[in-house]
Amino acid sequence: MFRVHCNKCFRHRKTDPTVPFHLAQCRHVICGPCLGQSSQERKCLLCGQALNTIQINRDMPTCVANYFEDPLRFQHLYRKISKFQADQRASDNLGFYRQLQQLEQNKRQLEGFCKMEAQLNRKVVEEKKRIAELRSYIAYHEDAQKRRRHSAHEGTHTPEFKEAWNTFVSTSDTTQSDKPSGRFCLDANMNSRSTRSRSYDVDTKDFRI
């Protein structure tokens, strides 16, 4: 332990091991006899500050005992503490840096997902439009098929067909022309229904419906 002596009478504890020594709050060391002299005034004999002391022995608190320890011990402890805390700060900074990297990666990934979502939304719009067109196409052909079946069942043609047929017949009657109309085409049934046999310069199979 650090060499202890009285700051008032300069007595050494090593030479007077039976004499108690005290550490005052003002950081002055006072021996028992000198402390007895100042006990009435309760003021330090050296600096006059209020006297509040604790006896120097092995039972004194660590915060007081540290004043008598070898400073090198605290220097080593200081280095250990400094290195430990520096390592902890470096680890904390590394964690923060990795979090930033992860955030940047998440940001890039999110931007990619947003672009993909926009592309998919455009694709959905295009596909909906295409589906609507296909449905319209299917409905048109289903309706046409129904009309053809109905005509075959009734043995007659659709009103559109009849109108076209009447137009064709009336045109043929007024012009007395045997040339085929560009607006209408004959088929086998029509040939059989016609009251007059007709002959054409072109192959009529190209005009069949």
Segment near Zn ion (CB under 5 A), from 4-12, 80-88, 145-153, 171-179?
Answer: 4-12
Segment 44 to 103, residues that bind Zn ion, using CB under 5 A: 44, 46-47
Residue (48 or 95) nearer to Zn ion, CB: 48
For the record, the structure tokens of 38 come out as 């100042």
Segment 11 to 30, residues that bind Zn ion, using CB under 5 A: 26, 28
The C-alpha atoms of residue 201 and residue 183 are separated, in whole angstroms, by 17
6 near Zn ion (CB under 5 A): yes
Residue-wise DSSP of 106-169: HHHHHHHHHHHHHHHHHHHHHHHHHHHHHHHHHHHHHHHHHHHHHHHHHTS--HHHHHHHHHHH
Instruction: Tell me how crowded residue 148 is: count the other CB atoms within 10 A of its CB.
Output: 14
Q: What is the DSSP letter of 50?
A: B
The minimum distance between CB 65 and Zn ion, in angstroms, equals 20
The minimum distance between CB 31 and Zn ion, in angstroms, equals 3
Residue (9 or 110) nearer to Zn ion, CB: 9
3-state SS, residue 23: strand
The correct pick among 9, 90, 118, 209 for binding Zn ion (CB under 5 A) is 9
Instruction: Provide the binding-site residues for Zn ion, judged by CB under 5 A.
Output: 6, 8-9, 26, 28, 31, 34, 44, 46-47
